[in-house]
Amino acid sequence: ASFLVLCFRTSLVTPLIFVLLLQPPLTQLSIVTQPNIVLLMADDLGIGDVGCYGNDTIRTPNIDRLAKEGVKLTQHIAAAPLCTPSRAAFLTGRYPLRSGMDAINTYRVIFWNGGSGGLPPNETTFAKILQQQGYSTGLIGKWHQGVNCESRNDHCHHPLKHGFDYFYGMPFTLISDCQPTETPEMDRVFRRKLWLYTQMICLVTLTAALGRLTGLISVHWKTLTCLAGFSLLFFVSWFSSYGFVRYWNCIMMRNHEVTEQPMVTDRTTSLILRESISFIERNKYKPFLLFLSFLHSHTPLLTTEKFLGRSSHGLYGDNVEEMDWMVGQVLDAIDKQGLKNTTLVYFASDHGGWLERQEGTMQLGGWNGIYRGGKAMGGWEGGIRVPGIFRWPGVLPAGTVIDEPTSLMDIYPTVVHLAGGVLPQDRVIDGRDLMPLLRGTVEHSEHEFLFHYCGIHLHAVRWHQKDTGAIWKAHYVTPIFRPLGAGACYDRGFCPCFGEGVTHHDPPLLFDLSRDPSEAKPLSADTEPLFDTVIRKIARAIEEHRRTLTPVPEQLSLYNVVWKPWLQPCCGTFPFCWCDKEGDN
């Protein structure tokens, strides 16, 4: 009997040993436990533009499918209401003013590929940490975090210096100037002033010359020559940049190489989609991070002919529906490679929709649903509350809705934790790991306070009072809407952060978002018994927050944002910058 038992045990142990011998080394096993991470970020998409957030006229079945199969966040907040600072916060997990990526003036984003400002080299992005953890990291689409610092090829702000192994896309952002048929968008008012000043100087020069020729004015020819020289110099000084915006800013790059200058907008969408799917296919055998940063739905709303006229919301709706189709193509590629259950997919927008973006009666910006305000407004919910969706089958419970304050900055610690990395210990990280909340192991978000900046100016603060469920929000500064009674700054095109275009509130405007998410009815000491207590609590939180801030170089200073010819990416011999290296493809 004992012999039979021994034989039986041997028969069990032998195949077990054989199976263990066939297993890969332990290091490979640990890599398999790291999920692939696909981050999908829309540009200027309003929370009210998506079906699963209440829109029943723009069709977004693929984004809606993500929400159905995953977790939808209803209080997902951008750290800034504009592209450059919001994306800096997303990449670093830190409020943008900590890295100098928020504005001290009216220039609130990176303005030129040939500027010297950008995401500082000493900032540690989540891509850099995942790269160190063995991930293949790729960025496809929009960057808008700067390119060079001191020379045309130092690439100090470039994605490849910030942890991405591969980059294909726009180092800048899509603007109407990229379409020759569109009305110029970049610095439109300032450009008109420059044209006016040029015409005035030329008129003075011509008048003086005619006066000298007719003898009506006594002026030396040397003076006239200097005046004419000044006129020419003034014109060249600004037209060399603003006259060639399409060539300087509307370019495509693959890694450090400029591939299109200017970009051929008719094929941009197909190339970005092709590159995204190719990245997934190339890296399916090891963990990868893909950050697909859409050019949709920013003006000039590049939309292929297949989607034109399909929506009931004009060109903007067509553009959103095309982006949703692109999301579906990426999800299909993940499924086709058998990666669905090992891939965390995240979808969001960088900030709220642009309410003021109109051409005549046509609305070219997004809709922010029930929320007040929009893009460029640092305090109002419409500028900062965005879609936030996570899907990871088998790990995150499908069909879950979470109404807790979360931030785009939370992606940083979340993906670093999933990759097995360690957060930097030498700096403040404002984001919080979302996995416990997403998996349902905790009830509340870790955020008690969130600070809402417009540039470097603190406009509002929210306090999540977890014991009562109240979400208090105090506004210290709000933009003045024009015309009166409107919901945006239609007279300016953008709402300002400071100056004559804002109102300071003392005491601050107070809302309870749990009862009034539209911020329609401000509370007062007469209507809210806790008014004074809440305001004092928030004031103390602001003091503590400000003690964590340290001075850093301002990346969006006037010097850093102006165009510098010696920093301009160029695929030829400057200033003869023209190429189309994608044409053969």
Q: What is the pLDDT of residues 317-368, one digit of tens each?
A: 999 999 999 999 999 999 999 999 999 999 999 999 999 999 888 999 999 9
Q: Give domain status of residue 200, yes or no.
A: yes
Q: Give domain status of residue 141, yes or no.
A: yes
| 256 and 203 in a common domain | no
Per-residue confidence at 154, pLDDT binned at 50, 70, 90?
very high
The first and second tokens of residue 149, run together, are 């610092």
From CA 191, how far away is CA 491, in angstroms rounded? 17
Min mean pLDDT across 234-238, 272-276, 547-551 is at: 234-238
| 295 and 147 in a common domain | yes
List, for residues 324-333, the tens digit of each pLDDT value.
Answer: 999 999 999 9
Q: Is 533 helix (H, G, I), strand (E, B) or coil?
A: helix
| 258 and 383 in a common domain | yes
Q: Give domain status of residue 426, yes or no.
A: yes
| 257 and 117 in a common domain | yes
Q: Give domain status of residue 531, yes or no.
A: no
| 423 and 279 in a common domain | yes
| 163 and 94 in a common domain | yes
For helices 314-336 and 61-69, angle between their N-to-C axes, nearest 10 degrees: 50
Min mean pLDDT across 155-169, 236-250, 406-420 is at: 236-250
Higher pLDDT, 396 or 234: 396
The first and second tokens of residue 169, run together, are 């896309």
> Do 63 and 387 meet the contact criterion of CB atoms below 8 Å apart?
yes
How much is the mean pLDDT over the chain? 92
Residue 262 exposed, middle or buried by CB count within 10 Å (0-12, 13-18, 19+):
buried
| 258 and 287 in a common domain | yes
Q: Give domain status of residue 420, yes or no.
A: yes
The first and second tokens of residue 249, run together, are 């800013």
Q: Is 83 designated active site? A: yes
Task: State which amino acid sits at residue 250.
Answer: C
From CA 44, how far away is CA 364, in angstroms rounded? 11
Domain end residue (candidates: 242, 259, 282): 242
DSSP classification of residue 265: G
pLDDT beyond 50 at 505: yes
Q: Is 451 helix (H, G, I), strand (E, B) or coil?
A: strand
| 259 and 139 in a common domain | yes
**φ and ψ of 136, to 5 deg:** -85, 125
pLDDT beyond 70 at 584: no
* Among 83, 178, 497, 570, the one annotated catalytic: 83
Domain end residue (candidates: 197, 219, 242): 242
**φ and ψ of 261, to 5 deg:** -150, 100
> Do 497 and 476 meet the contact criterion of CB atoms below 8 Å apart?
no
Q: Give domain status of residue 542, yes or no.
A: no
* Among 76, 144, 157, 351, the one annotated catalytic: 144
Query: Which H or E run contains 166?
Result: strand 166-170
From CA 47, how far away is CA 44, in angstroms rounded? 10
CATH assignment of the domain containing 145: 3.40.720.10
Residues 6+ apart with CB under 8 A from 395: 35, 344, 439
Count of structural domains, the chain: 2
- pLDDT of res. 188: 73
Residue 537 exposed, middle or buried by CB count within 10 Å (0-12, 13-18, 19+):
middle
The first and second tokens of residue 151, run together, are 């020379």
| 352 and 259 in a common domain | yes
Higher pLDDT, 495 or 26: 495
| 236 and 287 in a common domain | no
Q: Is 545 designated active site? A: no
% of the chain exceeding 70 in pLDDT: 94
The C-alpha angle with vertex 185 and arms to 181 and 189, in degrees rounded to 5, equals 130
pLDDT beyond 50 at 57: yes
| 361 and 221 in a common domain | no
From CA 450, how far away is CA 116, in angstroms rounded? 30
For helices 83-92 and 411-418, angle between their N-to-C axes, nearest 10 degrees: 30
Provide the domain limits for residue 216. Answer: 188-242
The first and second tokens of residue 164, run together, are 């991405």
Q: Give domain status of residue 131, yes or no.
A: yes
Domain end residue (candidates: 242, 264, 281): 242
| 262 and 170 in a common domain | yes
- pLDDT of res. 213: 82
pLDDT beyond 70 at 585: no
From CA 512, how far away is CA 471, in angstroms rounded? 5
pTM attached to this predicted model: 0.91
Task: State which amino acid sits at residue 129.
Answer: I
User: End-to-end distance of the chain based on CA atoms, in angstroms?
Assistant: 74
Residue whose structure tokens are 């927050």: 545
